[in-house]
Structure formats: C-alpha cells, structure tokens
Structure 1
Amino acid sequence: MLVTDTEFVQGFIRLTDDAFRKGWHERNGGNLSYRIKDEEIEAVKDQLAQPKEWLPIGVSVPNLANEYFLVTGTGRYMRNVILKPEENIGIAKIDAKGENYAVVWGLTVGHHPTSEFPTHLMNHSIKKELTNGVNRVIYHAHPTNIIALTFVLPLNDKEFTHELWEMATEDPVIFPEGIGVVPWMVPGGSEIAKATSKLMQKYNIVVWAHHGMFCSGKDFDEAFGLMDTAEKAAEICVKVRSMGGKKQTISDQNFRDLARDFKINLNEDFLD
C-alpha cells in the first residue's frame, strides 16, 4: 500500500481539505501534525528513506525520541494537500535524543516541516505525557471569528472561555476544561512554543491573540471538532454583539446543572 493510500494519511488529507473549505487557511496559513502509531509506520516502512540530514528542532522533546510525525510543510498551502500530498506534507523522524529531526518521506517541495514544528512537538510531548499517549493530533488554524474576538474580549482564560461557553449549550460539554489564551507573540519561535505548551497542560484549545488557535485531540475528528465548535461559538458571539449584545444568557447555575446531568467536570474556576 502506498503511503498516500493509508488510512492515517487519508484522514490527514481530509482534515486539511475540510478546513480549507471552512476558510481557516488563507494562503499558507495554518499547520497540522500527527504522531504516527507504530503499526502504521510498520505498514509503510519500506517506502521511507533512511535519515540523511538531521536538523535541530530548537527544543528538546526526549519523550518523543524515535517517533514519526506526519506534518504539513513550510510555505505550503492547505488547499494543495489533497492535490499533491507528497509535495505538501511529509513524515519526519525524531532522533534518539529528541533534539533533531529528519524528513524520511514527502515534502518534495520546500523540504522542511512547518515553521511551527517546534511548537507542535512541544505540545505533542506534553499531551503524550498527560494522556498516556492517547492524544496524537496538534492542529493550528486561523479561524476568522476567533481572531476577531481577540480584539474585543479580555485576553484571559476565564473571560474568553465563559463568553464562548454562553454561546451554545453544547460548548461547555465539548471543552469543559476551558480555553487558554496566549497574548500576541512572534510566531514560529521557542518562546511562543513554551507559552502554548504551558497552557496545553490544562487545555485542549489555546488561542493565539490576533493570530489563530491551536487544538489537541486523540484523532483527526476530535481536533477538527474542537476547532469547529470553538469557531462556531465565536461566530455566534460576533453576531450577538453586532445585534446589540446579550439580552439573556446561560447562567452559571445553568452550567452547573448541565455539568451534573451530562456528568462532565466543568472548570469551576471559570464560574462565579
């Protein structure tokens, strides 16, 4: 079976295409990575090159040593992934120390993973540890309404989360732990990677002010679903504000009733 025909690559491609059609990936904006399962690598190992050039990650992720990641390429467009996968996505192997990577398949144009690869790997490292290896997807996009709200909502976890929880009854069920918010920082470097991974220790959704959003999930459906749900809540919020603001809303007691009946651990720190 060709690498591009495998279920995990097809799932990866589907997410990139669905997300582009949502309008979350202008030009080369956004990126996606997936920590590949051992059995998935075994199925395609004969098609992977031997590492030739090891490049520094820029951060140390020892618990990801010898792991393989499917990742979008630097400067590549999400809209082109479905058309020419081998040019736009690739498989990278992490070395035995968790300090360097080598491309072993794909990325035939550009040759390098996304510039956000250090941020992805730091968050994979955190989520692998916290979920006992269950979470495998890190996804970054530029959803319009989330970005718009970072210009009008307070840039703190509690107020940003509470505002989105109020927008639809399902929202606190989908992200009961809340949402983290990183103030504006230069993307692509170790500082924003560290700030994001710190918040990923508590949340599966992190907003980058005036930039976009990061989500972590166990699979492609969960990561895409988190992005989609948060962005829809933001769209409702934008519309409510454009109509003059809230006249009624879901109360904190309503949230507690919801948590009781749906048996979810709602973050009480975000309620009054």
Structure 2
Amino acid sequence: MTNFIDSPYVKEFSKITFRLYDHGWDERNGGNISYRLTEEEVSQYDDVHDVLRTIPIDFDGKELAGMFFLVTGTGRYFKNIIDFPERDSGLVRITEDGKSINILWGFNDGGKPTSEFPTHLMGHAARLKVDPNQRVIMHCHPTNLIALTFTFPLDEKELTRTLWKMQTESIVVFPDGIGIIPWMVPGNSKIGNVTSEKLKEFSSVIWPHHGIFASGTTIDEAYGLIETIEKAAEIYNIIRSTGGDILQLITDQQLTELAQAFGVTPKEGYLEV
C-alpha cells in the first residue's frame, strides 16, 4: 500500500512549514499554505480516494472544481506540522458545485483548513489566469517586511523601487513588483477579493502590519520570493537604523541592465531611464 503521508508532497510541505517557523515568520498558528496538486499526482496513493468529510466554504469555487489542494489547518502551529502532518494539514478537493470541499486525507482529529482558505482559493483562481503552471499560495509574517510597513509609505511603486535597489537579486526575483492592500481584517471574503485582484498584477501582496501573501509555480519559488523580499526589507531597515547618509544606490540604469542580463521585464513605468 502506498500512503499519501509518505509522498514527496507531504514531505516537502512539512519541511517548508518548519523552515518558515524556524525563520520566525510563522509564530504560533500564524501563516498558512496551500499547494495545488494534480489528479495524476494524487491518484497513485491508496488512502485518498474516499471522502472523509465535506465542509462548506465561504467562496464560489466552481472555476476550481475538482482541483486538489494540500493545505495547512486552522489554528495549527507550523512548528508541529513536520511531526504531525496528518493532524495539522490535509488534502482536499473542491466539489463540482464549488461550494464545499471534500477532505480526502489528514485533519484526523476533526480539524479543517485554515480560515484563510477562501482567500487562498481566490488567489489561486487569479494567478492561474496569469500563469497556468501556478501551484502555491504562501502567507506568512516576515519580521522586517512588517516593520517596513510602519515606516515606509504604502505606495507600490516607491516600495518596489526601494526594495529593488537594496540588493542586486531583487529585480531578478520580483520584476513584477509588490502589491499592497490597505490594512484589513483577515480570514474573510472581503480581504480575499481585494488580495486576489492584486494577484492578477503582482505575484506577491503585502498585508500592512500583518505579513505577505505570495504565489509561485513551486513551493521553492514562493518561499524564495518571500525570502528575497524579506532580505531587501532587512537591508533597508539596517540602513535606516544606522542613521547615516546613503552614499550610493543601485541606479535605475543599472536595474535596467540587470533586467536585460537576466531576461526579466520590470514593472512598466517603475524605472526612470
């Protein structure tokens, strides 16, 4: 018998949730991840073919009907998923009417997906229109990026330009820039709708004073995107904390040269060259 808990998907999921916790970005039960899997990937396991429970969702997910998602559980601590993946995460399938999810594996103590799951589903739907290979939505609380939202104007162009100039890698990793929404109460369809609209334009969205909502074609890509944004925010905060003058920056011309060298297209109108 081949069980889903032994799959590379659960192992990868468990590893990355612990690393997010270990970075200090997912304290307590903060943060959530959803990982879209294909029917071919799921069907090879013997213990995922029966519906264990059906749960309604606060989102019309009909355009995602039949899709499978490995998702973190509500109220669950990221530090524990590596030891208890079948308790603190689960595999779900969106029902054909898009109004419910079928739990196929996991949440074995009666739990259910993160309260942010409708927001994740809205995000997946938005990003799939941009990139049909999109598979991951990752939400966490990077310390330096959150701190930045208290001291920097919440302007997408200016924040993106500043973080591009903090390190050579930034424009290569997030050439599409970073979206920003107003502060909002999390865990409801309102923030999901606003975030998903931004995800049509940006691969990552800042929730001020809260964290980041990022997407990717793989778990590594989404994680690496957040790592790079957080590193740039950390560098900016260190520079500010010294109180000294900035003597040099990466220029817009140099950013243009970087983009050309690495074959990426910067957000239109963000560079002044």
Structures share fold, TM-score greater than 0.5? yes
Query: Are the equivalent residues in 2 in contact too, given 1:141–1:213 (CA < 8 A)?
Result: yes
SS of alignment partner, residue 265 of structure 2: coil
Larger deviation: 69-78 or 59-68? 59-68
- For 1:101, give the aligned amino acid: I
Larger deviation: 238-247 or 163-172? 238-247
Query: Are the equivalent residues in 1 in contact too, given 2:52–2:105 (CA < 8 A)?
Result: no
The residue that corresponds to 1:37 in the other structure is: 38
The residue that corresponds to 2:237 in the other structure is: 238
- For 2:36, give the aligned amino acid: R
Corresponding position: 1:9 with 2:10:
yes
The residue that corresponds to 1:228 in the other structure is: 227
Q: Give the deviation of 1:49 after TM superposition.
A: 5.7
Query: Are the equivalent residues in 2 in contact too, given 1:75–1:110 (CA < 8 A)?
Result: no
Q: Give the deviation of 1:22 after TM superposition.
A: 0.8
Assess, with a 3 A threshold, how the Cα gap between structure 1 residues 81 and 167 changes in structure 2: closer, same or farther: same
2-structure distance, mates of 1:84, 1:95? 26
The residue that corresponds to 2:134 in the other structure is: 135
The residue that corresponds to 2:172 in the other structure is: 173
**What per-residue deviation string (whole Å, max 9, x for no partner) do you get for residues 154-210 of structure 1?**
112111111111110110000001000111000000111011100100111111000
TM-score, normalised relative to structure 2: 0.95
Which consecutive unaligned segments of at least 5 residues does structure 2 have?
none
- For 2:37, give the aligned amino acid: I
Larger deviation: 147-156 or 237-246? 237-246
Larger deviation: 85-94 or 60-69? 60-69
- For 1:81, give the aligned amino acid: I
**What per-residue deviation string (whole Å, max 9, x for no partner) do you get for residues 200-240 of structure 1?**
00111111000000110101110110011111111111101
**What per-residue deviation string (whole Å, max 9, x for no partner) do you get for residues 111-161 of structure 1?**
1100000010011111222212x0101000001000000001111211111
Assess, with a 3 A threshold, how the Cα gap between structure 1 residues 236 and 197 changes in structure 2: closer, same or farther: same
Query: Are the equivalent residues in 1 in contact too, given 2:183–2:209 (CA < 8 A)?
Result: yes
2-structure distance, mates of 1:268, 1:105? 44
The residue that corresponds to 2:210 in the other structure is: 211
The residue that corresponds to 2:96 in the other structure is: 96
Q: Give the deviation of 1:36 after TM superposition.
A: 0.9
2-structure distance, mates of 1:179, 1:246? 23
Output the aligned Cα RMSD.
1.3
Query: Are the equivalent residues in 2 in contact too, given 1:34–1:138 (CA < 8 A)?
Result: yes
Query: Are the equivalent residues in 2 in contact too, given 1:68–1:93 (CA < 8 A)?
Result: yes
Query: Are the equivalent residues in 2 in contact too, given 1:153–1:159 (CA < 8 A)?
Result: no
Corresponding position: 1:158 with 2:151:
no
Larger deviation: 71-80 or 13-22? 13-22
Larger deviation: 116-125 or 154-163? 154-163
SS of alignment partner, residue 269 of structure 1: coil
Query: Are the equivalent residues in 2 in contact too, given 1:158–1:270 (CA < 8 A)?
Result: yes
Corresponding position: 1:261 with 2:267:
no
State the 4+ residue runs in structure 1 displaced beyond 6 angstroms. none
- For 2:42, give the aligned amino acid: I
Corresponding position: 1:72 with 2:72:
yes
2-structure distance, mates of 1:246, 1:17? 36
Query: Are the equivalent residues in 1 in contact too, given 2:4–2:48 (CA < 8 A)?
Result: no
Q: Give the deviation of 1:110 after TM superposition.
A: 5.0
Q: Give the deviation of 1:52 after TM superposition.
A: 5.6
TM-score, normalised relative to structure 1: 0.95
**How many percent of aligned residue pairs carry the same amino acid?**
46
The residue that corresponds to 1:51 in the other structure is: 51
Q: Give the deviation of 1:61 after TM superposition.
A: 2.4
The residue that corresponds to 1:60 in the other structure is: 60
